[in-house]
């Protein structure tokens, strides 16, 4: 520990340590990594995300042993896994359930960061790595969704890839390049299989390692939003911190146990989850000649899909208003370079002209992608004098509650067949989502904030 003499390891472990920093790494990141003593259940979801990642990798390896990435045989190979491979049905359902549970855990992990200000200085890079992980996870899930080669796999991929055709000038060629053909077919399946199994997981694991290293460099946030490194004991250790192991490894075991109960209850009793985890149309082989009556992505994409569908020609003027609102704080910022100010004004003018030159489909794609990428700018949008929701005005909590409910409603609307009413509700939901973030520089500073204590509030469990 800091300030104490480190005991030199001997035997086999000592032999390894003299050639590889095994013990030193364990001390730095586990046994002597000091985390705040006031963690609550919200801090389970980071370790649960790691658990689900392991489940997905292990089950994915076993699925690859029997899966055939061939348009003529892919669906039947999945059926073969389900019916003929010993315990194949369990492996497949663990993988499909794991995909949805991954997003459940990650969404809750991100919500915790939002509530406690875990994106604020000095953790901006930790948050940016987290958003990159989220984007990577979305790409991984989308590519994996095509592989069963069912009706919804095929037509969902057709719809999403066709969105790239809306990009001006390069769109049609880009969508053909992504598909590898003029329609979703064998070439698409093969490249998505390669990316899903090899390329994207490697990037995902690299980002997760970077995320953890960046976190351990600056230290973990806590529900009070207090930097525990400011107050240290005589050994130079954070006075309000405790070693991650054994305290939080044991703490996380409770979360893991509860999660696995829910996870296997779904796997054994409701793997389709009413058509949300596994859609009924996906139990029908892909048929390029028969379009399903309603095509929608899996539930974890539907909030952003709702915002895509909400973007009509008339709604693009609302987007222009939000672009102006988003630019004003930057343009008016003190000390901003005059050249940069002119560039931002030119961009704003370009957006206004583009609203008339390009159709709503293109701007829908921009909205769908932009509402995810927007999360990366959260550290610079939130100007609140305190980090944690605990010390913010009461009406801030109401805003956060409205945002969460709105996100769930957008997700539900994305699963439903389009209608005039649902489209109007999606537009209202999109406005609420954009307003929450783009007006954050204004509302995050308003109200009476509670004084933040010097030390963390902690009550031992009895």
pLDDT per residue over 333-355, tens digit each? Answer: 666 677 777 777 777 777 777 77
Q: How far is 407 from 387, CA to CA, in rounded Å? A: 22
The residues pairing with 232 across neighbouring beta strands, listed in sequence order, are 238
Q: What is the chain's alpha carbon radius of gyration, rounded to the nearest angstrom?
A: 24
- How many other CB atoms are found less than 10 A from the CB of residue 244? 20
Q: Is residue 147 domain-shared with residue 274, that is, in the same domain?
A: yes
Structure tokens at 5: 């003499």
Position 14 in a domain: no
At residue 110 the predicted structure's pLDDT band, cuts being 50, 70 and 90, is very high
Q: How far is 311 from 314, CA to CA, in rounded Å? A: 8
Of 45, 58, 38, 216, nearest in space to 129 by CA: 216
Q: How far is 261 from 404, CA to CA, in rounded Å? A: 26
CA atoms within 13 A on the CB side of 427: 17
The pLDDT mean for the chain works out to 90
Tell me what the mean pLDDT of segment 9-37 comes to: 88
The verdict on whether residue 109 carries a ligand-binding annotation is yes
Contact of 363 with 430, CB cutoff 8 Å: no
The verdict on whether residue 196 carries a ligand-binding annotation is yes
Tell me what the mean pLDDT of segment 399-423 comes to: 94
Q: Is residue 279 domain-shared with residue 322, that is, in the same domain?
A: no
> Does 54 have pLDDT greater than 70?
yes
pTM, whole model, 2 decimals? 0.92
Helix (H/G/I), strand (E/B), else coil: 232: strand
**CATH code of 419's domain:** 1.20.810.10
Query: Residue 48: which domain range?
Result: 22-283
Lowest-confidence pick of 111-120, 298-307, 318-327, 417-426: 318-327
Q: What is the pLDDT of residue 278?
A: 92
Higher pLDDT, 344 or 205: 205
Q: Is residue 31 domain-shared with residue 157, that is, in the same domain?
A: yes
> Does 318 have pLDDT greater than 90?
no
Q: How far is 171 from 57, CA to CA, in rounded Å? A: 33
Which residues make Cβ contacts (< 8 Å) with residue 264, sequence separation at least 6?
A: none
Structure tokens at 448: 């009476």
Q: Is residue 212 domain-shared with residue 359, that is, in the same domain?
A: no
Which residues make Cβ contacts (< 8 Å) with residue 132, sequence separation at least 6?
A: 207, 376
Q: What is the pLDDT of residue 1?
A: 45
Q: Is residue 209 domain-shared with residue 121, that is, in the same domain?
A: yes
Residue 220, exposed/middle/buried by CB under 10 A (0-12, 13-18, 19+)? buried
Q: Is residue 361 domain-shared with residue 267, that is, in the same domain?
A: no
The verdict on whether residue 211 carries a ligand-binding annotation is yes
Express as a percent the part of the chain with pLDDT over 70: 95
CA distances from 292 to 109, 142, 143, 266, 422 (A): 34, 19, 20, 26, 20
Question: In this predicted model, what pLDDT tens digit does every residue of 284-300 receive, in sequence order?
Answer: 999 999 988 888 899 99
The verdict on whether residue 66 carries a ligand-binding annotation is no
Question: In this predicted model, what pLDDT tens digit does every residue of 163-176 receive, in sequence order?
Answer: 888 888 898 999 99
């Amino acid at each position: 520990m800091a300030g104490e003499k480190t005991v030199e390891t001997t035997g086999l472990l000592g032999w390894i340590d003299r050639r590889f920093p095994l013990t030193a790494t364990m001390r730095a990141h586990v046994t002597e990594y000091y985390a705040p003593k006031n963690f609550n259940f919200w801090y389970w979801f980071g370790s649960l995300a790691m658990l689900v990642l392991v489940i997905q990798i292990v089950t994915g390896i076993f699925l690859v042993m029997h899966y055939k990435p061939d348009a003529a045989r892919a669906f039947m190979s999945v059926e073969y896994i389900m019916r003929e491979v010993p315990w194949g049905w369990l492996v497949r359902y663990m993988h499909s359930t794991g995909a949805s549970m991954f997003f459940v855990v990650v969404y809750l992990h991100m919500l915790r960061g939002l509530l406690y200000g875990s994106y604020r200085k000095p953790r901006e890079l930790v948050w940016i790595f987290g958003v990159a992980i989220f984007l990577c996870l979305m790409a991984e899930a989308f590519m994996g969704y095509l592989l069963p080669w069912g009706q919804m796999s095929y037509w969902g991929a057709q719809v999403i890839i066709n969105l790239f055709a809306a990009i001006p000038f390069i769109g049609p060629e880009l969508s053909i390049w992504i598909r590898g053909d003029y329609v979703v077919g064998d070439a698409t399946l093969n490249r998505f299989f390669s990316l899903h199994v090899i390329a994207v997981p490697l990037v995902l694991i690299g980002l997760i390692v970077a995320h953890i290293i960046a976190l351990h460099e600056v230290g973990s946030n806590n529900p009070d939003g207090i930097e525990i490194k400011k107050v240290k004991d005589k050994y130079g250790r954070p006075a309000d911190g405790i070693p991650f192991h054994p305290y939080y490894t044991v703490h996380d075991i409770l979360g893991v146990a509860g999660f696995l109960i829910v996870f296997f209850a779904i796997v054994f009793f409701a793997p389709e989850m009413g058509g949300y985890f596994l859609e009924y149309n996906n139990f029908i082989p892909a048929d390029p000649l028969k379009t399903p009556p309603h095509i929608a992505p899996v539930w974890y994409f539907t909030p952003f899909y709702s915002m895509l569908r909400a973007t009509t020609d008339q709604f693009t003027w609302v987007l222009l208003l939000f672009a102006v609102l988003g630019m004003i704080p930057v343009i008016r910022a003190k000390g901003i370079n005059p050249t940069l100010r002119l560039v931002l004004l030119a961009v704003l003018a370009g957006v206004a002209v583009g609203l008339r030159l390009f159709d709503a489909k293109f701007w829908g794609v921009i909205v769908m992608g932009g509402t995810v990428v927007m999360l990366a700018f959260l550290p610079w949008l939130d100007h609140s004098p305190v980090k944690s929701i605990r010390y913010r005005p009461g009406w801030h909590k109401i805003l956060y509650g409205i945002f969460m409910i709105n996100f769930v409603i957008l997700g539900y609307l994305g699963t439903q067949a389009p209608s005039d009413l649902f489209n109007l509700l999606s537009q209202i939901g999109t406005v609420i989502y954009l307003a929450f973030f783009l007006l954050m520089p204004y509302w995050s500073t308003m109200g009476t904030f509670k004084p933040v204590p010097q030390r963390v509030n902690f009550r031992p469990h009895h």
